[in-house]
Amino acid sequence: MEQPFVSVVVLTYNQKDTVARTLDSILAQKCSYDFEILIGDDASTDGTVEVLDYYAKRYDNVKVFVQPENVGVTKNAYDLLMKTTGKYIAFCEGDDFWCDENKLQKQVDFLENHPEYVGCSHDVNFVNEYGKVYYKNNPTWISLKRDYSYKDFKGVYLPGQSCSIVRRNIYLDKEKDFSLIYTASKYIGDRTTVLLCLPYGKFYRMKERMSCYSFSFAKDTQGITFQKFVNSKSSFCEEWEYTKKLEEYTKNNFEFSVNFRPYKHSLFFSSIVACFRRRKCKNQAVRPKDILASDTNKLGYVVALPVWFAIKLARKIKLFVIKKKYFASMRKERA
């Protein structure tokens, strides 16, 4: 095929039962731009690679790259991003899928007409294991701002769910070192890739729901990132170290200041205080005093405590609503 205009990046790991749906939704795109599909598999053991090989043999624009051993989601992503050749990059993990055949056309058209934006996202649907929509809203880590800039990052908020974002391909610049993607964290990559884009412009989030985010409350269907990072006994410590690496990178490489304080630091402080109160943090290397020692504004962290608990309560209520709709949808599908 000719030089693709868009590179669609698909990361897979043990997703034999869902990856065909993912690829079919991408191949169904009605787009006037040529696009390639680059699939990076992180040494799956469940038959995912056989499904990928089928698509690679059938479609000229599908290329499969299999890691010889499990390297982690961020190293897998980095290796694949370095192989992209399109002017734009779209992303979809092997259990998510697109639900609008005009998604790529709409987003690339927007970026072609708005050079001040580095990326474009949109709202998403939550789907259960059967691919059925049970909740129409964005995850809690998605910024409320539809017009998103470096001021809105705050160390945690993103411009859109990863399966919804189309961005300019900053990785075509081979003179720059993008290894931060995997050196900052083995499991967290979406924050890093968004951060690396911020010097190039803003993000805009469309109101259309053109992607489906697969989110399950069943433990046996949770992704590898969730299992290895979120359930890790040292997750506080890992995320604290990850945040410090991002802060150091922005300090040394950006001409503007990306604000991680007080928001992200106060979240850490409040989370760890609550964790120690419940006596669940005996193995954590990070202590509340470590957070306080990192900033002179100690009063701000104390003031942040009631705010954090209010946010926590609001998220618990939202999670309760999501869970209720999820289990209702699962009962309906099994009936």
CATH 3.90.550.10 residue window(s) in the chain: 6-221
- Burial tier of 65 (Cβ tally within 10 Å: 0-12, 13-18, 19+): middle
Domain 6-221 has CATH 3.90.550.10: yes
Average confidence (pLDDT) over 272-297: 62
Mean pLDDT estimate for the chain: 88
pLDDT tens for each residue of 288-316: 666 666 666 666 666 777 777 787 788 88
Instruction: Please choose, from the candidates 215, 161, 146, the residue with its C-alpha nearest in 3D space to the C-alpha of residue 193.
Output: 161
- Burial tier of 39 (Cβ tally within 10 Å: 0-12, 13-18, 19+): buried
Residue 89 to residue 7: CA distance in whole angstroms: 5
Residue 161 to residue 76: CA distance in whole angstroms: 19
The residue type at 41: D
Q: Please say whether the beta carbons of 97 and 15 come within 8 A.
A: no
Compute the 3-state secondary structure of the chain and give helix, strand, coil in percent, each to the nearest 5: 45, 20, 35
Residue 27 to residue 107: CA distance in whole angstroms: 16
Q: Which residues contact 5 (CB under 8 A, 6 or more apart)?
A: 33, 34, 35, 86, 87, 88, 108
Adjacent-strand bridge partners of 147: 204
CA dihedral 179, 180, 183, 184 (to 10 degrees): -170
Q: Please say whether the beta carbons of 14 and 87 come within 8 A.
A: no
CA-angle at 176, arms to 173 and 179, nearest 5°: 115
pLDDT tens for each residue of 113-152: 999 999 999 999 999 999 999 999 899 899 999 999 999 9
Residue 133 to residue 219: CA distance in whole angstroms: 19
> Which tokens is 37 given?
């599909």
Average confidence (pLDDT) over 169-175: 95
pLDDT at 315: 82
Over 90: is that where the pLDDT of 210 sits?
Answer: yes
CA distances from 30 to 41, 96, 131 (A): 26, 19, 21
**Which of 100-104, 259-263, 280-284, 299-303 is predicted least confidently?**
280-284
